[in-house]
């Protein structure tokens, strides 16, 4: 059974078990999916209200965007686990001869790159949702503004967690150009994500 098909209780029990999967990467994907659900909820609570008629169409667009992205993010729960298993399989390759060692090293490098790219894709997808999440906060139903902020904060956690997984995997990669490019992306997104979250928190506080 896929991780995404487990009940919430089952997923938490599997996470708490003495196994590496599901781990932080799968939890980051779940967090991002929860974030989209909360934002979509606020958008839906805005629709049909005369007070918010001017943003009705935009809320429909954002709700659809959140729903579409959630489908990808839910799949990322399993993609992260699969990427981890790929790395573990590479490390289990035979290393009895020099040829086997060289083959094993190549497989480890390839698998570790994949294990870096998967959480990076998650981080980028979640990062690109911060702006529409902020838009829902600022123009959506004020009665649900704290729900929207919880969504944005949860999205921030997903991004930072995914980027942490990227950095962890970069430590085992020999391709310096790949590492430099991915590190620069991490640095930029981490800073901008923190800034956006603080902006959202301060704005919501003025509404309470």
3-state SS, one letter per residue, for 43-101: HHHHCCCHHHHHHHHHHHHHHHHHHHHHHHHHHHHHHHHHHHHHHHHHHCCCCCCHHHH
pTM for the model: 0.94
Model pLDDT for residues 193-207, shown as the tens digit of each residue: 999 999 999 999 998
The domain at 21-207 falls in which architecture?
Up-down Bundle (1.20)
Assess contact for 169 and 86: CB atoms under 8 A: no
pLDDT tens digits, one per residue of 119-132: 999 999 999 999 99
Q: Give dist(CA 31, CA 112) in Å, integer.
A: 23
pLDDT tens, 44-67?
999 999 999 999 999 999 999 999
pLDDT at 208 over 90: no
The CA-CA-CA angle for residues 162, 118, 13, to 5°, reads 60
pLDDT tier at 175, thresholds 50, 70, 90: very high
């Amino acid at each position: 059974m896929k991780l995404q098909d487990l009940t919430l209780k089952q997923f938490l029990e599997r996470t708490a078990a003495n196994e590496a999967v599901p781990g932080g990467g799968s939890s980051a994907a779940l967090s991002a999916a929860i974030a989209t659900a909360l934002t979509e909820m606020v958008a839906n609570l805005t629709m049909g209200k005369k007070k918010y008629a001017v943003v009705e169409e935009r809320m429909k667009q954002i709700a659809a965007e959140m729903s579409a992205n959630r489908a990808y993010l839910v799949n990322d729960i399993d993609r992260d686990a699969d990427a981890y298993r790929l790395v573990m399989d590479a490390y289990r390759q035979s290393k009895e001869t020099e040829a086997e060692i060289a083959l094993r090293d190549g497989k480890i490098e390839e698998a570790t790159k994949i294990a870096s790219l998967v959480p990076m894709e998650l981080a980028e997808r979640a990062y690109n949702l911060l702006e529409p999440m902020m838009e829902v906060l600022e123009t959506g139903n004020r009665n649900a503004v704290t729900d929207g902020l919880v969504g944005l904060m949860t999205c921030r956690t997903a991004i930072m967690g995914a980027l942490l997984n990227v950095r962890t995997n970069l430590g085992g990669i020999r391709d310096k150009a790949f590492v430099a490019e991915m590190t620069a992306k991490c640095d930029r997104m981490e800073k901008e994500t923190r800034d956006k979250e603080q902006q959202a928190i301060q704005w919501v506080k003025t509404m309470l």
